[in-house]
A and B are shown apart, each in its own frame.
Chain A
Amino acid sequence: MARMKFLCDADRCIECNACVTACKNENEVPWGINRRRVVTINDGKPGERSISMACMHCTDAPCAAVCPVNCFYTTADAVVLHSKDLCIGCGYCFYACPFGAPQYPKVGNFGSRGKMDKCTFCAGGPEADGSTAEYEKYGANRLAEGKLPLCAEMCSTKSLLAGDGDIIAQIYKERVTRRGYGSGAWGWQTAYRETIAT
């Protein structure tokens, strides 16, 4: 069974934000909600690196652990999804997430922050695959159609890889060996408790 992961090759990312645009478009993400973002470390200085970050779909996801209403669930592909019907908008998942993935429609927390929204690995939600209800709430369900997330598909430099963890780890390892350098799979230590030996 595939175990889905993201890997952003920080040495290839050129901060073009195609992944961000693709995600926004494919999932009709409203203004102010940022499922995916590109962070640039050391902007303008030697050692500048950019990395595309969304939900990492962690092993033993901290967001799922702290949710007071248990609205998260992990699919057979290890994609971490949640139910907007159960979500009470308490904001705890954001405090627990090491990557800042959860997004909320409201800024204040009076009563509720609104229904939490986050990267779904283009795998939709609890509603029926490909239904209108699912699309309206969670965006596209590409995984059910046998496709991979659009952010990785649209990446201009193929720095953002998405798919089975073993396969993308292999791709990354081959890359690093071929070109002779690599910063490692950023976020993998925190999300999956593993690194890729390069």
Chain B
Amino acid sequence: MARCLARARFIIGAWVVLLALAIALPASAQRNPDGSVNPTASAVKEQQLLDALQSGGSISGRVSIPDQKSANLIHPAGRDWRQFHEVTLRWIGAIAVLGMLIILVAFYLIRGQVKLESGYSGRRIVRFNAFERFVHWMTATCFIILALSGLNITFGKPLLMPLLGEGAFAAWAQWAKYAHNYLSFPFAIGVFCVLLMWIGGNIPNKVDVEWLKRGGGIVGHDHPPAYRFNAGQKMIYWIVVIGGTAVAISGYLLMFPFYATGIEGMQLAQTVHAIIAVLFVAAMLGHIYIGTIGMEGAFEAMGEGTVDVNWAKEHHALWLEQEMARTGPNESQRQPMATPAE
């Protein structure tokens, strides 16, 4: 596969050169009036080749060594990628992550925590079973470490290296890269399980439109009804599933360099991986906020698996109805708070 691509690149490269020659020099100029060959005419200048390349592409030829990547002579697009990685990406990342943090702080100061207005009833209902919580926490802890080690690649040099010094920072970056590459596997498995486990409850419907129109309970103090997952949670679900798949695919392309793509593909894979990753981090900050300090009674759902019935009534009334109907009106799955579900 790599050889086919290499040969294709070589052929393209050779044609570029011929094309450059044909365009730049009419055929008659390659011979002197007396018929002898004019070597100047067939001397290709670097600028001609670079002009013929314009954007992307590379000047390549034949090499006698097995590593066909070395057949690329000059590949100017690395310049654009360098600009993206050193400048553009840092801006996007800083704005996304810091912007989200600022929004969350402001939101907490202005709106405050979403309180359980009717108070705790003491009656509990199972919200997430042990397997669901296991998958969530495996994915979540991997995400935290992947996020930190990933952000380190982009922001470590300007922010952390001045504090740690070159040697310590390089050692930390080395271990961070190992963690990043190997924890990607449980993360990808987790995302896949999330996809399968919860796809049923995350298909958007009219209830979500209504929920959003009524401010979702966080803009204002309304309690629009929702099924097991409200519109905000559905957005998180799809961000995790789609974003997670995208970073996984681009990430594995990066981990297996040049197995499936040429150098432009690798640069693109890194670009996609980096942009989706920083946006993913920003989105997850919002998710972490609302699941911890943002909403009273929410963390327990994933922390130990049950929620207070009043909490379910205020935030997921339709889900509560379904659960009650399922288990019968005498709430047989009521569990006193003293027995945590593990």
By a beta-carbon cutoff of 8 Å, the part of chain A in contact with chain B is: 10-11, 17, 32, 34, 37-43, 45-47, 49-51, 53, 62, 65-71, 85-92, 94-100, 107-113, 180-190, 195
Contacts and interface: CB of A to CB of B under 8 A. Distances in A.
B255 interface: yes
A181 B263 CA distance: 33
Interface of B: 13-14, 17-18, 21, 39-40, 42-47, 50, 59-65, 67, 69-76, 78-79, 81-82, 85-86, 152-154, 156-157, 161, 166-167, 169-170, 173-174, 177-178, 181-182, 254-257, 263, 266-267, 270
30 contacts: A17-B64, A39-B60, A40-B61, A40-B63, A41-B61, A45-B18, A47-B21, A47-B42, A50-B61, A51-B73, A62-B82, A65-B82, A66-B82, A69-B161, A69-B173, A70-B157, A86-B167, A92-B270, A95-B266, A95-B267, A96-B79, A97-B78, A98-B78, A100-B69, A108-B257, A180-B39, A181-B39, A183-B43, A186-B46, A190-B46
Given A32-B67, A97-B78, A91 B257 contact: yes
A154 B238 CA distance: 61
Contacts of B64: 17, 38
A11 B255 contact: no
A68 to B, nearest CB: 5
A183 B13 contact: no
B256 A41 contact: no
A70 B164 CA distance: 13
Contact of B174 (A88, A94, A183): A88
A67 B182 CA distance: 21
9 closest A-B pairs by CB: A181-B40, A41-B61, A86-B170, A183-B43, A62-B82, A39-B61, A43-B62, A47-B42, A111-B178
B79 A62 contact: yes
Contacts of B256: 108-109
B56 to A, nearest CB: 12
B52 to A, nearest CB: 12
B166 A47 contact: no
B166 A39 contact: no
Contacts of A95: 78, 81, 263, 266-267, 270
Nearest to B166: A86
B85 A34 contact: no
B21 A98 contact: no
Given A100-B75, A195-B46, A42 B18 contact: yes
Given A41-B14, A43-B62, A184 B263 contact: no
